[in-house]
Chain A
Amino acid sequence: MTGTMTWLNAHWGLVLSLSWQHWYLALIPVLIGLVVSIPLGWLATRSKVLRNTFFYLFGFLYSIPSLALFIVIPVILGTGILDPLNLIIPLTIYTIALMVRSVVDALEAVPWHVRAAATAMGFRPLHRFFAVDLPMSVPVLIAGLRVAAVSSISLVSVGALIGLSGLGDLFTEGEQHQFIGEIVIGVVGSLVLALVTDLVLVLIGRVTTPWTRVRT
């Protein structure tokens, strides 16, 4: 235990910079995934065929082990061996796989009479989507994002095996040095990152949806 604290005191800067790296490697894919999922989810609500295609395709992609994707992506895309894209692209795919379903559920939960009233008042389709459908979807989207963000943070650690990671580096290094303390710090660090991210998402949800918490 004392060994762990001593190591941490000596490598505080390293742990912080790895945490930061870990965080953005995990969250950039979540952001891109969200932005891509919204139009895909919208398309899926418009056509049954498209919706089933998406659900099977993303279900399949989600079932591929992350390590396999990390290794295959550079081969397919021809990216360099330490290119962050090797990590960002697979994690984006996972996020989309999770979020498309959330977007579809959220959009389908908008009551028909609200949608009809919006159209009847003279909203154009795109305007209605951003002014009515999307804001009403925020609670469900935030729930989906919380799962996607936490799972992305845990998956970034696996990236250590292809030389790209944040706190995951501490796992591989700890194993090489036969030093359990470093691994513990990596685990605790990832947990803290996940918790903080989750909390931030919950707060964003609360601030943007005051209407869900009114007394009825």
Chain B
Amino acid sequence: MIEFEAVTKQYPDGTIAVNELDLAIDAGRITVFVGPSGCGKTTSLRMINRMIDVTSGHIRIDGTDIMTSDPPVLRRGIGYVIQQAGLFPHRTVLDNVATVPVLTGMSRRAARTRAAELLETVGLPAGMAKRYPAQLSGGQQQRVGVARALAADPPVLLMDEPFSAVDPIVREGLQEELLRLQADLAKTIVFVTHDIDEAIKLGDKVAVLRTGGILAQYDEPAALLGRPVDDFVASFVGRDRGYRALGFLPAERLRLGELPLVELGGTVANARAALVDGWAVAVDEARRPLGWLSETRLATVDGSASLTDDLLVRGGSLYTHDAKAGITAGSLRSALDSALSSPAALGIAVNADGGVLGSVDASDVLAALAAARSQGEVPT
């Protein structure tokens, strides 16, 4: 556990970056510091490994005041992931990951073996080990950054806006990956971001800080969305927080409707016969959805023509209805999004392998929400 007790950071010019911060960070969980720029979230993070020293107050890790340890030694026991990864461009990926074990006295050979294991853990192919950072994409570099931070198996991991410099799709992948890793590793993670969506998605607990380094609210994400303590938090967590709160309710409770499925390769006439209310879903051999078939689109071609890829109507997100190892189940939020984004106004539910299970429409989601509310599952 990491404890902040009346921690203040004041710079020589008088600016107060962090003001009397009291906070208990749970061991083995992800705690996110979030807030606008100038709220002291990065400063608070960097005080934990003494990249910045506190002006007054105490920070304790498992009861030991950090001021009693030699900073470089303290830092070797705390993993650190930085924006843009901060990899050493002159060292190979493998040697980058091996850095801290070598610093702590492990032989180079043993450190490299350990590094190779970690590359696998974070999902990088072994062939990348000998490359230099410049040869990797931003997302791959960030994975190496995470592997490097984990190399000495530190109990605490500090993550300083680690995914802010990658594009949104890659970022989402990295977030999923972090949650998957955390499920195995159960590190005490302190994560800084300015993105409230990222905070809600990753945090077991979220600390919202306001400008001037004052803690506004420290709560679980659902409570933050459901019961913001004041206007600042309410406006910071955003106007569509009701919609986002759907993200905490699992979609498994939804009853799915039947969906007509059609494999490609048959005739257009057969496909037309399968339509229900003017729509069907084209699937591959493994029942994975390829796109929608619509009455209007199929009417433009002759019935004897064969059903090909170019007749599909694309669009619509999918949601994963049930979970299996490594794949999290969707929420009411992803189910609703699937329904709203679908050209047929029906969301497609898939299983963990990506095969179609059935359909859901927006009113089903709202009914499920009402049911959850009546059972007191929605924080109000």
Question: Which residues of chain A have a CB within 8 Å of any CB of chain B?
Answer: 111, 113-114, 116-124, 132, 135-136, 138, 209-211, 214-216
Contacts and interface: CB of A to CB of B under 8 A. Distances in A.
A123 B103 contact: yes
A114 B99 CA distance: 13
B72 interface: yes
A111 B103 CA distance: 21
Given A113-B86, A132-B88, A120 B135 contact: no
B76 A118 contact: no
List the 5 shortest-distance A-B pairs measured between CB atoms, nearest first. Answer: A117-B86, A122-B76, A120-B80, A122-B75, A113-B86
B90 A135 contact: yes
B124 to A, nearest CB: 17
A211 B75 contact: no
Contacts of B132: 210-211, 214
Given A120-B158, A135-B90, 4 more contacts: A117-B86, A120-B82, A121-B100, A210-B132
B83 interface: yes
A211 B89 contact: yes
A130 B158 CA distance: 25
Given A214-B135, A216-B134, A117 B51 contact: no
Interface centre among A117, A121, A124, A209 (most CB of B within 10 A): A121
A216 B73 CA distance: 35
B134 A121 contact: no
Contact of A211 (B51, B134, B148, B158): B134
Contacts of B76: 121-122
A122 B100 contact: yes
Given A116-B51, A122-B100, A215 B135 contact: yes
Contacts of A216: 134-135
A119 B90 contact: no
Contact of A116 (B86, B87, B104, B145): B86
Contacts of B73: 122
Q: How large is the interface on B (under 10, 10 to 19, 20 to 34, 35 or more residues)?
A: 20 to 34
A48 B132 CA distance: 34
Contacts of B148: 121
Contacts of B51: 116, 119-120
Nearest to A134: B90
A205 B68 CA distance: 44
A211 B91 CA distance: 7
Contacts of B145: 117
A114 B87 contact: yes
Contacts of A120: 49, 51, 75, 78, 80, 82, 158
A169 to B, nearest CB: 43
Contacts of B74: 122
B82 A117 contact: yes
B72 A124 contact: yes
Of B51, B76, B99, the most chain A CB neighbours within 10 A belong to B99
Interface in B101-153: 103-104, 131-132, 134-135, 145, 148
B89 A136 contact: yes
Contacts of B131: 214
A209 B134 CA distance: 13
A113 B84 CA distance: 7
A119 B75 contact: yes
Given A124-B72, A214-B135, A118 B82 contact: no
Contacts of B104: 122
A206 B150 CA distance: 32
15 contacts: A113-B85, A114-B86, A116-B86, A117-B82, A117-B86, A119-B75, A120-B78, A120-B82, A121-B75, A121-B99, A122-B74, A122-B75, A210-B132, A214-B135, A215-B135
Contacts of A138: 90
A121 B80 contact: yes
Given A214-B135, A215-B135, A117 B89 contact: no
B88 A114 contact: yes
Nearest to B49: A120
A119 B80 CA distance: 10
A173 B88 CA distance: 54
A214 B148 CA distance: 21
Contacts of A211: 89-91, 132, 134
Nearest to B83: A113
Contacts of B89: 114, 136, 211
B134 A116 contact: no
Contact of B103 (A113, A114, A121): A121
Contacts of A215: 135
A118 B72 contact: no
Nearest to A215: B135
